[in-house]
Amino acid sequence: NAGVTQTPKFQVLKTGQSMTLQCAQDMNHNSMYWYRQDPGMGLRLIYYSASEGTTDKGEVPNGYNVSRLNKREFSLRLESAAPSQTSVYFCASSDGRGRGYGYTFGSGTRLTVV
Amino acid sequence: AQTVTQSQPEMSVQEAETVTLSCTYDTSENNYYLFWYKQPPSRQMILVIRQEAYKQQNATENRFSVNFQKAAKSFSLKISDSQLGDTAMYFCAFKSNFGNEKLTFGTGTRLTIIP
């Protein structure tokens, strides 16, 4: 029972490099999310996908793109990494039924941009 | 837009004591959901407790309980008989009853249980 799987767990990038964070869930959830966690700021929503084929901006979308590849997978791409994107990134999924149940987080990716 | 405020960046308490973490929120909605999440050093986000705003009764999960004051828009978490394993970051979160299921988080409270 894997839940939400994120890869990689750690990554160091140089400024200007690109990378994609991968996320997959095996709970048949409709909705998926990408959050970033910074000290003193809690978790902030970057992008979300309410259902397969749809994506929407969250609170802090600048510098990121996402792809909902299928119902299971939701990737986050940094096209040109900047030091301000140093953070811990969490993928999450939910059943999308609106009751707040079944919200499941991945174990996070610690990204450092130097 | 909703906001969630946790005014206690850090707290510490002796093992076996009771501690209360504060959370206030701002919304114009009448029905919504509130959550407390625990994040231990492993970084995993763990749901501690969930409250539905239309329910008057405060949620309880073993040693964890909430004091939900809807009119005051307050949602505090009480941990009774605190244990060393309760040491973690605690986040309060809000979910609207409308639209998608995105969560709005507070800035967190770092709780340390002292042996």
Q: What is the pLDDT of residue B45?
A: 95
pLDDT digits (tens, 9 = 90+) for B31-45: 899 999 999 999 999
More confident residue, A96 or A11: A11
Separation in Å, CA A96 to CA A1, A27, A47, A92, B101: 20, 12, 15, 12, 6
pLDDT digits (tens, 9 = 90+) for B21-33: 999 999 999 889 9
Q: What is the pLDDT of residue A101?
A: 67
Q: What is the pLDDT of residue A98?
A: 66
Residue pair B103/B93 in contact (Cβ under 8 Å)? The answer is yes
Q: What is the pLDDT of residue A102?
A: 64
Residue A113 pLDDT greater than 70, yes or no: yes
Separation in Å, CA A67 to CA A24, A33, A62, A71, A77: 12, 11, 15, 11, 8
Do A98 and B50 lie within an 8 Å CB cutoff? no
Q: What is the pLDDT of residue A40?
A: 87
Q: Which of A40, A46, A43, A5 is nearest to A22 (CA)?
A: A5
Give the residue-averaged pLDDT of B57-81: 96
Do B47 and A103 lie within an 8 Å CB cutoff? yes
Give the residue-averaged pLDDT of B40-60: 92
| Rounded Cα distance, A54 and A96, in Å | 13
Indicate the average pLDDT of chain A: 93
Q: What are the residues of chain B with a beta carbon less than 8 Å away from any beta carbon of chain A?
A: 4, 6, 9, 33, 35, 42-45, 47, 50, 52, 91, 95, 97, 100-108
Of B52, B95, B108, the CB nearest to A42: B108
Residues 6 or more apart whose Cβ sits within 8 Å of residue A89: A6, A21, A34, A35, A36, A37, A46, A76, A108, A109, A111
**For residue A105, what pLDDT band results from cuts at 50, 70 and 90?**
very high
Joined tokens for residue A99: 């009751």
pLDDT digits (tens, 9 = 90+) for A41-83: 899 999 999 988 899 999 999 999 999 989 999 999 999 999 9
The number of residues making up chain B comes to 115
**For residue B102, what pLDDT band results from cuts at 50, 70 and 90?**
confident
Do A96 and B100 lie within an 8 Å CB cutoff? yes
Of A35, A42, A96, the CB nearest to B106: A42
Exposure of A17 in the CB half-sphere (CA atoms within 13 A):
13
Of A88, A94, A107, the CB nearest to B101: A94
Q: State the SS3 of chain A.
A: CCCEEEECCEEEECCCCCEEEEEEECCCCCEEEEEEEECCCEEEEEEEECCCCCCEECCCCCCEEEEECCCCEEEEEECCCCHHHCEEEEEEEECCCCCCCCCEECCCEEEEEC
Q: What is the pLDDT of residue A100?
A: 64
